[in-house]
Structure 1
Amino acid sequence: MRRILLILAVIAVGSVAVVTAATAAGRGADAVNPAPILAPKAIVSYQPAAGSTDVNPTAPISATVTDGAFDQVALVNPDGAAVRGTLSPERTVWTSAEPLGYGKTYTWRGTATGTDGRQVPVDARFATLNPARQVRGALNIGDGRTVGIAAPIEIQFHSHVSDRAAVERALSVTSSVPTEGAWGWLPDENGGSRVHWRPKEYWKPGTKVTVTAKLYGVAYGDGRYGVADLSSTFTIGRAQIVKADVNSHRMTVIRDGREVADYPASYGLASDPDRNTRSGIHVVSEKFTDKRMVSERYGYDVMEKWAVRISNNGEFIHANPASADAQGSSNVTHGCVNLSTEDAKAYYDTALYGDPVEVTGTPVQLSARDGDIWDWTLSWQQWRQLSAL
C-alpha cells in the first residue's frame, strides 16, 4: 500500500511540473511575439502641405480628416487670431473663407477623433510669400457715379506691370445691357502702367456697369504683387455728344439724339499746327469753375472760367471774353474751344465725365501724344491689339 501511494504522489508532482512548464513556456512566447499596437485610424491632411513656404495668400486653404471627424479645428495667424472658415456638415473638411496675408506663418490647431475612438492632434504650419514690392491700383470711376457714353474704365497702377496677361485675366466688366468691349494697355504714365476698358461703340444710356479687379495675390512680375482688390458699380447717363466742326465756327450739343444747343465758338489758329484743335473723339475728363492757363511759349498766364478739359494736351472748352469778337467767325485760340461766358457756363453745367467731344475739320489728329484719353482715336481692331491676351 505504501508503495502504491508513493507512486501516485510521484505521478501528481510530475503533472504539476508539466502544467507549470507549459504555463511558463506560454508566457515566454507572448514576450517574444507581443500583440501589435494599432495606429489611430484618423488621418489629417493639409492644403498646402505642412511646412510649405511661399504660399500665395489667395491659394485654396483646407484641412481634411479621413476615417474620423474634427472635434476642433482652427487656422491662426502669428497674432493668434483665427482665420475665418467653414466646416463641412460631416465635420471632415475645413476651408478658409478669406484671403491670407503676405509674409506670415499660419498654424493649424485642434483635434480630430477617428472612427476607432482615438484622438489625433491638428498641428501643422505653412508660410505665405513675401513680395519684393506690393503695387496699388486705382479705378477712375467710383461707386454710384453717373458718367458719359464714351467713358473708359481705367486702372492706374503705381508701378510698372510686366506680366500684363496675368493682371488682365483678373479683370472683368459686366453690364445690364450686353456691351462688347476690351481691355487695352496704354503707355506707362506717372511711373506706372495703366489699362483701359473701352466699349466697341458708345455705351447705351442707362446701362449699369460693374468692374471687378481681383488683384490681390496676382503676380505682376519682377517680384511685384497686387496689394488689394478693386471694384466699382456705376451708371451710364444720358447720351450727350458735342459736335465741334472747326470750319463752322460753331459748337453744337446733341442730347439723346436731339440738338439742345448751338454756340458760336472759336477754335485753334489754323495757320499754326501746334495751335490746331486736334481732330478726333475727345472725352471730357475734368471740370473747373476757374482754371489757370499758362504757356511760356506763347507768353500767357490767365485765369479762365467754366473750363471743361477734353484732353491732356491743354485742350479745354471754356469761356474767353478776350476772343469774343472771333467766336462764330474765325479761329484764333491756342487750341481750346472758346465760348462766351454765358454759353460756357450753360455747357459746363451739363457736362459729365466721359462725354464725347467730336472735333472735325483740322489736319492734326488727336493721338497718344496728347495724353490720357485717346481710346476713341483707334479703330476697334487697333484697340483690341492693345490687349495682353
Structure 2
Amino acid sequence: MAIAYDNVLSDSRMLSSVPSLSSSRYQSSQIAKAYRQAAQLFLTRRLPEALSTIEPIITPPDPDHVNGSHNGDLSAFAPVASASRGTRVKVWSFYLTFLNSVVELGAEEGKHAFGSTRWKALVSKCRDGSIWEDVVRDGYAGIEGDLDAEVVINLATLLLTHSPSQRLNQQRLETYLSASANPAFDVSSHMQSSAYLQRRPSQHNNGTSTPRDLNTRLKLLELYTLHILPRNDEWDYAREFISMSEVLDDERKEAFLLGLHSLKEEKEESETREAKLRQQQQEQLEQRRKESEARRLEQSRAEDERRKREEENRRQPRGSDEVFRKPLHRQGPSTSSHASRPAKKAVSPPPGLYNRASSMWAAMQALITNTAHSMTANPMAVFRTLLFLLAFALAFGRQDLRERIMRVLRNAWEKVRRTVGMGVKVSYI
C-alpha cells in the first residue's frame, strides 16, 4: 500500500511540474512584485491602495473562470498558495499586520479611509476570528496542518489582541498543534497540488527538525500556554500541558512553569487591586452621596429659615404699629414731661493737684492784676477799701469780737469743707 501511494505521488509530481514551470515562475514574480508595492504603500500610510494591491494575490479567483477541476495545480485557491514558503510567510504576515493597523485606526478614521461597510468587515475578521479560516481555506487549500508556523503565530497574536474571546483562538491553535504533530495522509487532498507534495514532507517531524523550527515551535507553545490559556482561565490545563510537552526540556519546562506562576500571581494581585479600587470608588460615591444629602438638608433648613424670616418681616410692621400706637395716646403727657426735663450734665472727674495749684496761682495773679487796675482806675474805691480794712482791724482788736468772728469763720469754713467733700464724692460716682 505504501509503495502504491509513493508511485501515485511520483506520477502526479511529474505530470504537474513540467507544464506549469514557466507559469509558476511568472506567477511567483508577480506575487513578489505585488507584495513589494503593497508594503511600500503601507509604509507611506496609503492603506486603501495597499489593500487593493495585496488583495488579488490572497483572494481565490472567480469560480466561473476556473476550468474544470484543480488539474494538478492550485488554480482554485489564492495565487499565494502556490508561492514559495518564504513568499507565503511574507505575504500573509504583511496582510495580518495590515489588518492590525486597520483595527487600530478607530471607527472615525477607518470609516473615512475605507468606508463604513468595508472597514467594519475588515475589523470583524479580527474580532470574530474568521480571518484564521480565510487563511487556511484560501492560502493552504483548507489543510490546517499545512499552515506555516510563522503565519500561525501572527494569526494567534492578532486574535489575542483584538478578539474579545480567546476560545476560538485556543481551539484553532490546538487543532494546528495536533495536525502538525500528527499529519493525516489524505491521498485525494495531496493529489490536488504538486506544491503540497513538495511541502508536506517537512511537516512530519513535529516542526523541530532545525533550530529555526524549534525556536518557532517554542514561540507557539509560549503563546499557547502563557497567553491564550490564561486568558481562558485554563491555569491547571496550561500547567499540565507544559509538564507533558515533548518539545520542552526540563529547563524550559521549569522556566515556563515559573512564568505561568508569575502570571497567575500578577492576575490575582491585579484582581485584588481592582477590588480595592472598586471598594474605594464605592466608598467615595457613598461619601459624596452623604455630603450631597447633607448639603441638601442644610439648604432646605436655610430655605425654611429664610421663609420664616420673610413671614415675620411681613407681619412685624402691622404688629409694631399697634403696639406703639396705643401707649403713645395714653402716655402722651408723661412722655412730654420727660422730654421737658433737662438732661443731666456729665460730671467731669476732679482736677489733679497740679491743676488745682495752677488754677490757684492764676487766680491770685488775676486778683493782683485786677486790684492794681482798680486802684489806678478808681482811687476812691481803694480808699473805701482801706477804711473798711482799718475798721475791720480795729474791730478785730477787741477780744470778744475777735472770738465771735473766728467762730463764725470756723463754722463757715466747716460748711465749705463739707460741701466741697460732698462735691468730690459725687464727681467720682
TM range (shorter): under 0.3
Q: Which has the higher helix share?
A: 2
Q: Which has the higher strand share?
A: 1
TM-score, normalised by the number of residues in structure 2: 0.17
Q: Which structure ranks higher in relative contact order (CA pairs < 8 Å, sequence separation ≥ 6)?
A: 1
From the CA coordinates, give the structure whose radius of gyration is larger. 2
TM-score, normalised by the number of residues in structure 1: 0.18
